[in-house]
Amino acid sequence: MKVRSWLFNAHVRWFLQSEGWGRIWTRHNSMASAGNPATILLVDDDEAIRGFTRRILIQQGFHVIEASDGAEALEVASVYAQPIDLLLTDVIMPKVNGLLLAQQLLQERPAVRVLYMSGYVEKSLLVAKHPESILLQKPFTPQTLIAAVRQVFASEEQP
């Protein structure tokens, strides 16, 4: 199915799962190496923030898989056969919070990079418990989002 709007033009594929979740939004990724788009698992319980963030990421050329909470994200990741390059997750969510989600996902997919976002958590508190963490403070601009994503990918490339 081809989706068209003034904000983005993307191909949509659906996982054929009984629940019907696991949307993948696809477009060529200008930041990926060797022509393979990077895949981002976007997790936020606020649908408006997910939509805003998804559109920005798609415009930058990423594959975006989305989930509305940590529990759903773990289910989506378990059936997604391709690599997931980045987990972009809210910290405070119902069911499974972003920190626990990252911990569990990294056990199954150790190569996944993690970028946290929050409007409530102070960066100093997160970094005190997880020194390697990068936190994107909400609200954010498209430029701030892309800069944070690039920072995460760049930090993994350095020795």
Domain annotation for the chain: domains and CATH numbers: 2-157 (3.40.50.2300)
Q: pLDDT for 65-84, tens place per residue?
A: 999 999 999 999 999 999 99
Q: According to the model, what pLDDT value does residue 34 have?
A: 41
What parts of the chain have a pLDDT lower than 50? 1-34, 158-159
What does the alpha-carbon distance between residue 152 and residue 102 come to, in Å, rounded to a whole number?
Answer: 14
Cα separation, 120 vs 16, whole angstroms: 35
pLDDT cut 70: percent of the chain above it: 68
Residue 34: which region, alpha, beta or left (left: phi > 0; alpha: psi -120 to 50)?
Answer: left
Amino acid at the residue 80: Y
Pick left, alpha or beta for residue 74 (phi over 0 → left; psi -120 to 50 → alpha; otherwise beta). Answer: alpha
- Smallest CA-to-CA distance from 87 within 8, 10, 2, 96 is with 96
Per the CB < 8 A criterion, the answer to whether 67 and 42 are in contact is yes
